[in-house]
């Protein structure tokens, strides 16, 4: 074969000087970033209008690997930071890219309130069912009976069903895919860009080093095969029925797609109602570094 003058299409979206990344062999976070980059290519979105915010954890590292305006916040505070970013500069497309531990445990409060206010954020939550970076402790998303470093006899706690949680709190777009569903995930991210309001995409991802190893579920590839075999696409499925178990069926698909006024339109309407003609829209914040 001849030497080809071609480069990887996702390369322009990555800080290649930081590769290879720190994620373990068989971890699915890289695959989700790959799908995210392809969604950016497909949607032809202006990269200058994008800002990506991550919290702490394995998925939190995404902010350091993408060649976008990005910020790696303190633990659990990705959504509050992103909220401020969006309110100060409403023209930005703000993406929150973080893990289940960061978003639903320490940042759980922010997650439900951002969904309640319907702040125009695109949240991509990579759910590996465990606190991976800190050594594999039980997370709020760990399914029942799973063995973790803090539950050596199996966890007895019921787990969060994240699509159900954010739907109940008020999100306008809720989808779930696994790292096996790469095309669907990329399409879903593209759809979320079109929505105005709080969009939430959960991506189930393997953690071969901590979750799969301790539970004797094989490696990353075995988990991908399990996703292929046991996942069922059910668009519009009631989110109350999509809870996860350790080895059972995984319901994936687009569960919620609805419209509701977002925070900024509500704020504007309220101010106009109260102040009438005297209300002056705040001027746009201009970044001094541009």
Partner 1 sequence: MVERCKACGFCVEFCPTKVLALSSAFNSKGYHPPHVVAPEKCSGCDLCGMYCPDFAIYGQRLPVAKEAAPARTAAATNLEVARES
Cβ at position 147, least distance to partner 1 in Å: 23
Cβ at position 268, least distance to partner 1 in Å: 40
Cβ at position 59, least distance to partner 1 in Å: 12
Residue 243 found at the interface with partner 1 (CB under 8 A): no
- 144-173 mask for partner 1 (x: CB under 8 A)? ------------------------------
Cβ at position 2, least distance to partner 1 in Å: 8
Cβ at position 144, least distance to partner 1 in Å: 28
Residue 38 found at the interface with partner 1 (CB under 8 A): yes
Cβ at position 43, least distance to partner 1 in Å: 16
Out of 18, 42, 88, 183, the only residue in the binding site for partner 1 (CB under 8 A) is: 183
Interacting residues with partner 1 between 96 and 155 (CB under 8 A): none
Out of 9, 12, 158, 236, the only residue in the binding site for partner 1 (CB under 8 A) is: 9
Out of 111, 220, 231, 244, the only residue in the binding site for partner 1 (CB under 8 A) is: 220
Contact region with partner 1 (CB under 8 A), list: 48-56, 88-96, 215-223, 267-275: 215-223
Out of 12, 15, 23, 118, the only residue in the binding site for partner 1 (CB under 8 A) is: 23
Out of 18, 109, 158, 221, the only residue in the binding site for partner 1 (CB under 8 A) is: 221
Residue 76 found at the interface with partner 1 (CB under 8 A): no
DSSP the chain: -PPP----TTGGGB-GGG-S-SPPTT-SHHHHHHHHHHHHHHHT--GGGEEEEE-SSTGGGHHHHBSSEEEE-STT-HHHHHHHHHHH-TTSEEEEEEEHIIIIIITHHHHHHHHHHT-SEEEEEEE-SSBTTTTSB--TTPPTT--BTTBTT---SPPP-HHHHHHHHT-SEEEEEETT-HHHHHHHHHHHHH--S-EEEEEE---IIIIIHHTT---HHHHHHHHHHHEEE-TT--GGG----SSS-EEEEEEEE-----HHHHHHHHHHHHHGGG--PPPPP--TT-
Residue 17 found at the interface with partner 1 (CB under 8 A): no
- List residues near partner 1 by CB under 8 A: 1, 3-4, 6-11, 14, 19-21, 23-31, 33-35, 38, 180, 182-183, 186, 219-221, 224-225
């Amino acid at each position: 074969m001849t030497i080809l003058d071609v480069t990887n299409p996702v390369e322009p979206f990555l800080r290649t000087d930081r590769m290879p990344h720190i994620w373990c062999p068989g971890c699915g976070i890289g695959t989700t970033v790959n799908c995210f980059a392809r969604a950016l290519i497909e949607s032809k979105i202006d990269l200058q209008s994008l800002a990506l915010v991550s919290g702490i954890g394995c998925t939190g590292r995404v902010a350091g690997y993408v060649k976008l305006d990005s910020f790696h916040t303190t633990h659990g505070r990705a959504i509050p930071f992103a909220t401020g970013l969006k309110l100060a500069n409403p023209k930005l497309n703000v993406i929150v890219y973080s893990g289940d531990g960061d978003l639903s445990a320490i940042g759980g409060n922010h997650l439900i309130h951002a969904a309640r206010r319907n702040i125009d954020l695109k949240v991509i939550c990579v759910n590996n069912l465990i606190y991976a970076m800190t050594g594999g402790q039980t997370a709020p998303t760990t399914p029942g009976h799973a063995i973790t470093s803090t539950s050596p006899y199996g966890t007895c706690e019921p787990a969060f069903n994240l699509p159900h949680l954010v739907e109940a709190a008020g999100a306008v777009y809720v989808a779930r895919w696994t790292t096996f569903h790469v095309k669907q995930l990329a399409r879903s991210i593209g759809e979320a860009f079109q929505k105005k309001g709080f969009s939430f995409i959960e991506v189930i991802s393997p953690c071969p080093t901590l979750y799969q190893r301790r539970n004797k579920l094989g490696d990353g590839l075995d988990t991908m095969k399990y996703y292929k075999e046991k996942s069922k696409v059910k668009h519009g499925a009631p989110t109350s029925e999509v809870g996860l178990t350790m080895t059972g069926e995984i319901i994936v698909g687009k569960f919620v797609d609805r419209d509701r006024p977002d925070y900024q339109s509500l704020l504007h309407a309220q101010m106009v109602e109260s102040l009438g003609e005297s209300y002056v829209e705040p001027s746009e914040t201009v970044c001094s570094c541009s």
